[in-house]
Amino acid sequence: MSEHIVSRGIYAGIGATLLIFTGITYYAATVDLGPLNVVIALTIATFKASLVVLYFMHARYSPRRTQLVIVAGFFWLALLLGMTLSDYLTRAWQSI
Amino acid sequence: MHRTGELYGHFKTPGQQREAASLGMWVFLITEIMFFGGIFLTYAINRSMYPDIFAEASRELNVRMGGINTAVLIASSFTMAMAVWASQTGKKKQLTLFLILTLILGSVFLGVKYFEYAEKFHHHLVPGRNFQFPGDVGSRAHAQLFFSLYFGMTGLHALHMIVGAGLLLWLVKESLRGRYTPQYNTPVELVGLYWHFVDIIWIYLFPLLYLIDRH
């Protein structure tokens, strides 16, 4: 079985997109959007990280088995962050 | 020893061997993701408790240097991806060139980081007895928390960069000996995975540390 070779054009396109969104991240941080600022920053960062994982790290072209391991890893990370923050971020509600 | 890139006895095909290697690398990277994940969680909890001090402390960071470093690191991920491409298509000279470019960009990142750290020392923003920050004892303590997280997270990231630079040096040396061919380039591919992972950590560190409140 031969490996999938990602073209130079795709790499260049992804690299340029990552640079453009770095600029957008900076610009978004200079506008006051209240609590939305952090949401936008993390959404852009996650979009950029997804591009790196899918194209630079070839996850899109990897065998299903590898993809399953990657998804499972991020699922556990989501559990760690989600369960802990759902505790900490709701503690203030109790004191009402 | 696995010197010529031949097939190990317990694999049937080069493709199977390559897939097993990259799967193993991903399992390692997931342990790294969980390791950094715990630190990001610590950051999230502390920022949710002291949002104003974290915003104020974040404005002390040099956003220009941080921004330049983000671009440098993305460029290095691109040259690393191109190195993988060169190894897969058998372009040995380009492989060495892209590996050296990646190494240079990684070194530029670390150099900028050195100047940033030096600046923090000059401004008394390193947690410890010489730490200075406007406000009462409480806000000074919480600002120290921010800077502890800043040095902890960027320091661990820089440590990963230094390990990556060592791996790149080794790849440059091996590529000069013509070790990597379209049939065997697993080390280039795996170091590439590691390098991109380190890039991803920085993609989150930049907005979370430098850009909390810039308006």
Of B80, B101, B109, the C-alpha closest to B205 is: B109
Instruction: Check residue A96 and give its pLDDT.
Output: 58
Instruction: Check residue B1 and give its pLDDT.
Output: 45
Fold type of domain B14-210: Four Helix Bundle (Hemerythrin (Met), subunit A) (1.20.120)
- If chain B, 215 residues long, is cut into consecutive pieces of 10 residues, what is the mean pLDDT of each piece? 68 91 97 97 96 95 96 98 97 98 98 97 94 92 96 98 98 96 94 98 98 89
Residue at B80: amino acid letter: M
The 8-class DSSP code of residue B6 comes to P
Testing the interface with B: which of A57, A75, A81, A83 to mutate, by most B Cβ within 10 A? A57
Is B199 part of the contact surface with chain A (CB cutoff 8 Å)? Answer: yes
Please give the ipTM for the structure prediction.
0.94
Contact B45 A73 (CB under 8 A): no
Residue ranges of chain A whose pLDDT lies below 50: 1
Q: Where are the domains of chain B?
A: 14-210
Which of A5, A29, A52 comes nearest B89 by C-beta? A5
Is A34 part of the contact surface with chain B (CB cutoff 8 Å)? Answer: no
Q: For residue B194, which residues of chain A lie inside 8 Å, CB to CB?
A: none
Asked if A74 and B200 count as a contact pair (C-beta separation under 8 A), the reply is no
Q: Where are the domains of chain A?
A: 1-62, 64-96
Quote the percentage of chain A above a pLDDT of 70.
Answer: 96
Helix (H) or strand (E) holding B47: helix B14-49
Task: Write the DSSP assignment of B46-106 as a string of letters.
Answer: HHHHSHHHHHHHHTTS-HHHHHHHHHHHHHHHHHHHHHHHHHHTT-HHHHHHHHHHHHHHH
Instruction: Check residue A95 and give its pLDDT.
Output: 65
